[in-house]
């Protein structure tokens, strides 16, 4: 189906996008200054951001972009699954991680298949739900095929191991199933079954069980195991409402593990205070609301309607889970804060996903 296009995407979504990118630069600069002085995290993030911004503009001007990706969904899906299998066999670890989540590409690049899967699985589910129509009411024909793919991808990611991302995929997948029209009763039964399997898996994998134990009974754990939680708590306490002034920030004990990555929300609290945290939270709430509005306004093209919803919840779920971890509401998941945390693979994929959502808003009726 040809899509009538307009030149500029949704202005409100574009403002949120630019604001998130700027917030990420400010957060990484502040975290590097305090926790990783002498490193090049900020300059690396800035250079990649600028490069991807140019790439985003290219995506926005490509004609028939969605027809192209919809026609190639099977190829994208097969390549993603092959990459997820390849990384389990030939993958590498990086500094600060014991999991095999990266594939090395000479002369010095790494790719993370689980990040790539965020785009391809969202596209796959959006496409398959759009094409099934009335078959969605039939469990065998509607739910089972995409559910098998979702389970396979989630298992491959969990084996790396990466339980947080695996759980994220399951949450997004089932949300898209429900939004796409699969009956709730079918989803509830499947969700209970998969949740039971996930709990059994977590309780039998040492590093996952350790995270749960630290969260449920920190007083019974070693100082080393609870160090990150305690430092995150101190970061929020130090920051107060407005944060610690530059001239005073080094007068307190500031070390916070993963301050640039998984716990950057706590780092923001320390340097920019409650005000900084609220600004980040408002940006993501605004993005979520705008994404839902955009998806709800699409009436004719169900593929794009499902895709807009999937991208919105993938970014939103990850953001809210990260903030919940940093504030000790849930156990550590290892998920970065989209656009804010340092991470080259994550930044590339998140910017591509956001750009696709912007491109959807180039439809005339939006």
Model's pTM, two decimal places?
0.92
Q: Is the pLDDT of residue 93 over 50?
A: yes
pLDDT, average across residues 196-223: 79
Q: Is the pLDDT of residue 250 over 70?
A: no
- Residue 193 C-alpha from the chain's centroid: 24
Q: At a CB cut-off of 8 Å and minimum separation 6, what does 63 contact?
A: 5
Tell which residue, 338, 163, 348, 351, has the closest CA to residue 265.
Answer: 338
First to last CA, the chain: 17
Give tens-digit pLDDT for 120-129.
999 999 999 9
Q: Is the pLDDT of residue 151 over 60?
A: yes
pLDDT, average across residues 99-123: 91
Give Cα separations from 144 to 61, 186, 259, 309 (angstroms). Answer: 36, 10, 41, 21
Output the pLDDT for position 1: 47
What is the pLDDT of the chain when averaged over all its residues? 88
Confidence of residue 142 (pLDDT cuts 50, 70, 90): confident
Instruction: Choose between 176 and 247: higher pLDDT.
Output: 176
Give tens-digit pLDDT for 172-187.
999 999 999 888 888 8
Sole residue written with tokens 């089932």 = 174
């Amino acid at each position: 189906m040809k899509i009538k296009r307009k030149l500029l995407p949704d202005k409100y979504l574009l403002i949120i996008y630019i604001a998130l990118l700027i917030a990420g630069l400010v957060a990484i600069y502040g975290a590097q200054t305090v926790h990783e002085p002498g490193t090049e995290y900020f300059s690396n993030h800035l250079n990649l951001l600028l490069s991807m911004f140019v790439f985003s503009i290219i995506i926005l001007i490509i004609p028939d972009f969605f027809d192209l990706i919809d026609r190639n969904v099977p190829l994208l899906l097969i390549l993603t699954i092959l990459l997820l299998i390849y990384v389990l066999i030939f993958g590498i670890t990086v500094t600060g991680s014991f999991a095999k989540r990266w594939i090395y590409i000479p002369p010095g690049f790494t790719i993370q298949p689980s990040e790539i899967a965020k785009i391809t699985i969202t596209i796959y589910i959006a496409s398959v739900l759009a094409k099934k129509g009335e078959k969605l009411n039939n469990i065998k024909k509607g739910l089972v095929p995409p559910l098998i793919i979702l389970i396979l991808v989630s298992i491959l990611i969990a084996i790396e191991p990466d339980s947080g991302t695996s759980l994220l995929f399951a949450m997004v997948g089932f949300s898209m199933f429900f939004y796409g029209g699969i009956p709730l009763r079918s989803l509830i039964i499947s969700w209970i079954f998969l949740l039971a399997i996930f709990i059994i898996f977590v309780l039998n994998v040492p590093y996952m069980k350790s995270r749960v134990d630290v969260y449920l009974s920190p007083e019974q754990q070693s100082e080393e195991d609870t160090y990150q939680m305690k430092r995150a708590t101190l970061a929020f306490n130090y920051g107060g409402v407005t944060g610690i002034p530059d001239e005073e920030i080094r007068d307190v004990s500031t070390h916070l593990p993963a301050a640039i990555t998984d716990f950057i929300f706590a780092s923001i609290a320390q340097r920019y205070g409650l005000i900084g945290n609220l600004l980040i939270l408002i940006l993501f709430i605004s993005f979520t609301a705008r994404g839902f509005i955009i998806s709800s306004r699409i009436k004719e093209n169900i593929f794009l309607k499902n895709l807009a919803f999937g991208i919105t919840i993938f970014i939103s779920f990850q953001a809210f889970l990260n903030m919940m971890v940093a504030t000790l509401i849930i156990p550590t998941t290892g998920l970065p804060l989209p656009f804010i945390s340092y991470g080259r693979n994550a930044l590339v994929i998140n910017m591509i996903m956001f750009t696709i959502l912007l491109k959807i808003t180039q439809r005339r009726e939006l």
